Structure 1
Amino acid sequence: MMKQLITVDLGASSGRVMLGTFNGSHIELKEWHRFDSYHLVNGSHCEWDIELINREIRHGIDLLLDAGIIPDAIGIDTWGVDFVLTDAQGQQIGKAVSYRDSRTQGVMEQVLSELGAERIYSATGIQFMPFNTIFQLKALIDEQPDWLDKVSCLQFIPDYLGYLLTGEKNCEYTNATTSQLLNCRSRDWDTSLLEELNIPKSWFLPVSPTNRAIGTYDVHGLSIPVISIASHDTASAVAAVPFRDPSAAFISSGTWSLIGIEEEEALSTESARQLNVANEGGVEKFRVLKNVSGLWFAQKVREELKISSFSELVQLAEAAPAFTCFIDTNEPRFLNPTSMQEEIKTYLRETGQQVPEDAGTLVRAIFESLALLYSEVVEDMESLRGGAIPCINIVGGGCQNQLLNQLCADACKREVFAGPIEASAIGNLVCQLIALGAVEDLKAARSLIANSFPVTQFNPRADNNFYAFQQHANSIRQN
C-alpha cells in the first residue's frame, strides 16, 4: 500500500513541491522545494510568471528524483479564476493576468447593469467578485487585443501547468466553478451566458471530473502519472477538513478566508444572492461559502514594516490593547493598496476612529475585525441552511495563528478546531490516493487525515466584549 506522491501546492504568495507518503494507515508530508516571487508587475498590469512557475515545479520534481524517490503520481492545485489562453498549437497567447490586476475595474458593474445580477446568479450560484473570470474575459473582449482571433483554448492555471508537464489539455471541475460561467445545475458551461457576453464558447474545454489521471510527465526515463485532483486550492483544503460534525462550518485561512459549509446541492436562491454566497464545486459536495478578506492585511503590514516573521507579528498583537478600532476588511480599497498600513490609517481617520500608533495595535485590530467578519458569515450560513452550525474547523496556514483562532471562537461563540495546517497540500494528496484507488472515498480520506495530523481546540471565552465591538462596527458601517 505504500504510495509516494508529489503535491504541487501554489498559493498567491508562494509555491511548494512536497512529498506525500502513505503507508496504508497514515500520511505524512515533507516540503522539498519552496519558491516565490512569481507575481509580477509590468507597468500598470499584474501577471503571473508562468514560465518561472513551470521551471520551479520541474526543479522540485528533479530534487525528489535526484534523492532516489520514484513518485507514484503528481497533483497540482492553485488559486482560482485566473487562466492562460493558447493558440491552435498550444502556445501561450497574451499574459497570465492576475486577479489583482486593475483591468476589471468597473467591469462587474457594467455587466450587472446589462444582464442583471439575478440572471447571472440563478445560473451560476457564484459570489460576485470583480476579479471573477467572467469579468476578466469581458474586459479582455472589450479591449480587443490584436491577438484575440488567434485564441483556440482557455485553461485555468492548474490545468495549464498540467498541460506543460503532459501535453494533455484539461478543464477540472472545481476550478472551473470559480469562473462564474459554469451552470451550477447542469455543471457545464452556461452557453447562453457566454453568448450574451460575446465570449466564444469554442475557447472552453469540456468540464472533466475531479480525481482522474490526465497524462504522464515523462522525465529521466520515467513516466509519472499526473492526476487532475481538486485543483482549486480551496477545494483541496476543504477536502482535508477532518469534520467532527458534518454540520460544522469550515474556514480555509490564508491570504483569503474562505468560510462556508458543505451541501449536496447548490443553494442558488435569492436569499443566497442577497448574501453574495458562492456555490463552488467540491470533491463530492458543493462548497457553499463566502470568499472574504484574510491574512493578506497582516502579510502586507509585516512586509512593509520589515518584521522578521509572522509569529513575531502575532506576538506583538497579543501584547497590544484590545478593540481599539474596527477595520471593514471587505472595503475594495484594501484589495491591492500601495501601502496597506497607510490605507488602513486613512480609512480610520475618515471614519473618525483612533489610529493605532504601533504595529501590534494595528495588527490586533486587523485580527479582531477579521474574527467579527467570520462570525457574521457563519450566522449568514446558518440562516441560509436553516439549521444550526455547532462548531468551526479552521484549516490552512492561518490556523497556526492561535490569537486569531481564539478571537474566532470568542466572536462566533462556538468551539473552534484548528488544523491541519497544510490543508491544500493534504487535500491534493488524498485526492491522488482516491484517484489511484488507494483510499476508497472522501469520508475514508478525512478519517485518515484525522489520524495523521494534530488538531487544537479553542473554546469561546465569556465576557469577551465582541458584542460591544459589533455595535461599534455597525455604527461605522452605517456612517
Structure 2
Amino acid sequence: MRSLVVDIGSSNVKVYLAEMQADKVLYMKEADRFATERSFYLGHLSTDIFAIYGRICRVVMSLAKQGISIDSIGIDSWCSDFGILDLDSGSISMPVFYRDSRTDGALEKVEAVMGYEEIYRRTGQRKLKDSTLCQLLAYMEEYPQGLWGRKKLLFLGDMLMYLFTGVVCSELSVASYSQLYNMQKGEWDFHMLARYGIPEEIMPPVVPPGTRVGTIREDLARYLGIGRVSAVMPAVHDTASAGMAVPAEAGKAWAFLATGSWFLMSMELDAPADAGKSYEYQLSNTGMAFGKVLLKKNITAMWLVQECRKRWKERGLNFEYGELKEMACRAEPFRGMIDTEYEGFRNPEDMVQEICSYLKDTGQEAPGEEDAGQIVRIIYESIALRSAEALDMLEDAADRKIEVLYVIGGASRIELLNQFLADATGLAVKTGPSEASAVGNALLQAYGTGMVASQQEIRSVSQAMCRTEEYQPRDAGQWKKRRGEYERFKADTDNRAIYGDGKDQCKSLTRRRTL
C-alpha cells in the first residue's frame, strides 16, 4: 500500500510517499518540500491554502506520470487556524495565521463572558491567545454576519482534505484543541457556543483519527490522472500524529517531546489528567487515536532560532542549521538564560535584537548580535530548562513518574540539545523519528486502510523503522543548580531584580513577561 503523507508545518510543507509492505515494514521517501505560503490577505497574515493545495496536486500528477500510484492520502497540520466554507457558493475564506495580531485583546473578551477556569473544566484546553475561540471572536467582530447562513468551520488540515474529497468533517485531535470541544462529553460544547453567540450549525461532524472519510473527488482524480484513492484522516493535529510514531518500549513509563517551532512536552494517557493541576499548570488535554488523551505543555522553541537565522541572513550571515549547532557547541556554557515564553518573543521584527535586549534588561551580559553560536546556545539551554519544568508539571498532573523521555521531530537531530535535555531532566533521553508527524500520519493511514490492526501493531512498526540514539545525564549536579536559578529567575516580576544576587548586578525588567 502506498500513501501520500502531507505534513504542514508553520515554516514548511513536507510531502512523503509512504509504502507499507506486506511484512509490515514502512518505508518513507520525501516527494516534495516547500515553504508554507503566506499572504497578507484582507488585512491579515494568512496561510495560502490554495497555493499549498495546488502544489500537492502537482506532486500527485508528477507521481502519476512516473507510473507511481497511491492508495490513500492524509494531511496533518498545526491547530487553531480555520477557514469558513460557504456551502451555497463554494467559497472558502483564507485561514488567518495564528501569529497575526487580530487576537490582541481577545483573552479579555473571552473572559468577560466566561471565566477560564470554567472553560478549562469544559474543554480541557489552556488559556491561549490564538485559540480557535479567540480567533472566532475576532472574526465575528470583523464580519458580524460571517458565520450565518449555510457555513461550516474547517480547520487548516480539515479544509485541505475537503478540497480533495468534498467531505465536510473535522477530526478529533484538532477539534479538541479548539477550546470549543467538550472532552468529557465527546462533542462540541453547545453551551459555550451559545454563550459566545457562535451558531452551532457551523461546527462540522467530528471523526476519530484513522477514519476513512471517502475518496478523492472523481473530477479531481481525472484531472490528476489517478484512479480511486482513499482519503484517511490521520490525527490532523500534527503532535497527535507524532505521538503515534513514538517507538515506546513496553514496561517503562515514558513521555515524549515533539520538537519543531514549538516543543510540546507530552504524555499519552487513558483519560484527562487532574483538572485542578492541569489548569494550574496551563496544560492541554486533547484527543488522540485509539481513545487516548494527549496531555501536553507548549514551549516556544526552535521558532527563536528560526527567526534569529532569518535576521542573520538579512545581514548577510547565511548560517545553515548545522553550522549554528556546531557554533553553539563551542560557545560558553550558561552565559545567560531567557524565558522562552516572554511575550516579546512572540513575533518581533528582529528576534536577535529582542533576545539581546531581553538579556540586558534582565541584568545579564548580552553577546554581540552577530555572535550566533552564543545566542543559539543560550536558546538551547533555556529550552532545555523550560522543557524540564514542563515535564515536572505533567508528572504531577498525571501522577506518573517518567523513566524515559523520547525526543521526536526535527530537533531530535541536534545532539547538543538532546544532551541538555538529559542533563536538565535527569532522565535517559531516546530519539525517535525526525519526521514523526509524517510517520504517524502514514501509520494512521495504514490503520484506516486495514494494513495494521491496532495501536500495538503501530508501535511495533515504528520501533522497527527508526534507529534510536540514547543520551544519559552527565552534568546532573550543575544542571540541577541551574534549574533552581531558572525557577527563581522566572518567579520574579516586572520591577524586581531578577538575576544574580539581586543587588547591583542587575537591572529591572520593565516589560511585561507572560509566563
Q: Is this a same-fold pair by TM over 0.5? A: yes
Partner of residue 440, structure 2: 427
CA distance in 2, matches of 1:25, 1:221: 25
- Name the SS for the 2:69 alignment partner: coil
Partner of residue 403, structure 1: 416
Partner of residue 362, structure 2: 351
Equivalences for 1:122-133 in 2 at 5 Å?
A: 122-133=121-132
Equivalences for 1:7-156 in 2 at 5 Å?
A: 7-23=5-21, 24-42=23-41, 45-89=44-88, 91-145=90-144, 147-150=146-149, 152-156=151-155
Partner of residue 301, structure 2: 294
The offset of 1:223, in angstroms, is 1.8
Contact 1:82-1:99 within 8 A present in 2 as well: yes
CA distance in 2, matches of 1:438, 1:25: 8
The offset of 1:151, in angstroms, is 5.7
Equivalences for 1:88-237 in 2 at 5 Å?
A: 88-89=87-88, 91-145=90-144, 147-150=146-149, 152-217=151-216, 218-219=221-222, 220-237=225-242
CA distance in 1, matches of 2:351, 2:150: 37
Q: What amino acid is the match of 2:101?
A: S
Partner of residue 260, structure 1: 266
Contact 2:147-2:202 within 8 A present in 1 as well: no
Partner of residue 345, structure 2: 334
CA distance in 2, matches of 1:387, 1:86: 42
The 1:204/1:148 distance shift into structure 2, 3 A limit, reads closer
CA distance in 1, matches of 2:429, 2:227: 44
The offset of 1:146, in angstroms, is 5.9
The offset of 1:224, in angstroms, is 0.9
Contact 1:86-1:92 within 8 A present in 2 as well: yes
Q: Do residues 391 (structure 1) and 391 (structure 2) align?
A: no
The offset of 1:244, in angstroms, is 2.1
Q: What amino acid is the match of 2:329?
A: E
Partner of residue 327, structure 2: 316
1:140-181 CA-partner distances (Å, limit 9, x unpaired)? 122335645356111111111011111111111111111011
The 1:404/1:43 distance shift into structure 2, 3 A limit, reads farther
- Would you identify which runs of 4 or more consecutive aligned residues in structure 1 move more than 6 Å? none
CA distance in 2, matches of 1:66, 1:157: 28
CA distance in 2, matches of 1:159, 1:452: 28
Partner of residue 380, structure 1: 393
Q: What amino acid is the match of 1:436?
A: T
- Name the SS for the 2:289 alignment partner: coil
CA distance in 2, matches of 1:25, 1:193: 44
CA distance in 1, matches of 2:357, 2:42: 26
The offset of 1:9, in angstroms, is 0.9
Contact 1:416-1:459 within 8 A present in 2 as well: yes
Contact 2:4-2:15 within 8 A present in 1 as well: yes
Partner of residue 242, structure 1: 247
Q: What amino acid is the match of 2:450?
A: G
- Name the SS for the 2:400 alignment partner: coil
Contact 1:17-1:61 within 8 A present in 2 as well: no
1:269 to 266, 272, 275: 275
Q: What amino acid is the match of 1:250?
A: F
User: What's the TM-score once normalised by structure 1's chain length?
Assistant: 0.96
Contact 1:47-1:98 within 8 A present in 2 as well: yes
1:377-403 CA-partner distances (Å, limit 9, x unpaired)? 111111112221111001111111111
Q: What amino acid is the match of 2:80?
A: V
Contact 1:20-1:30 within 8 A present in 2 as well: yes
Q: What amino acid is the match of 2:399?
A: G
Q: Do residues 461 (structure 1) and 474 (structure 2) align?
A: yes
Contact 2:10-2:36 within 8 A present in 1 as well: no
Contact 1:260-1:288 within 8 A present in 2 as well: yes
Contact 1:4-1:22 within 8 A present in 2 as well: yes
Partner of residue 312, structure 2: 305
The offset of 1:458, in angstroms, is 0.5
Contact 1:125-1:267 within 8 A present in 2 as well: no
The offset of 1:464, in angstroms, is 5.5
1:36-75 CA-partner distances (Å, limit 9, x unpaired)? 1412335862110111011011111112212211111111
Partner of residue 504, structure 2: none
- Name the SS for the 1:149 alignment partner: coil
CA distance in 2, matches of 1:463, 1:288: 26
2:284 to 278, 281, 301: 278
* Number of aligned residue pairs: 477
Q: Do residues 368 (structure 1) and 367 (structure 2) align?
A: no
Partner of residue 451, structure 1: 464
- Name the SS for the 1:417 alignment partner: strand
The offset of 1:309, in angstroms, is 1.4
Q: Do residues 439 (structure 1) and 452 (structure 2) align?
A: yes
Equivalences for 1:411-422 in 2 at 5 Å?
A: 411-422=424-435
- Name the SS for the 1:223 alignment partner: coil
Q: Extract unaligned runs of 5+ from structure 2.
A: 497-515
CA distance in 2, matches of 1:72, 1:312: 40
- Name the SS for the 1:96 alignment partner: coil
- Name the SS for the 2:170 alignment partner: coil
Contact 2:36-2:47 within 8 A present in 1 as well: no
Q: Extract unaligned runs of 5+ from structure 1.
A: none
Contact 2:424-2:476 within 8 A present in 1 as well: no
- Name the SS for the 2:206 alignment partner: coil
- Name the SS for the 1:6 alignment partner: strand
CA distance in 2, matches of 1:473, 1:130: 25
CA distance in 1, matches of 2:298, 2:209: 22
1:214-272 CA-partner distances (Å, limit 9, x unpaired)? 12222325121111111111111011111125521110001100112111111251111
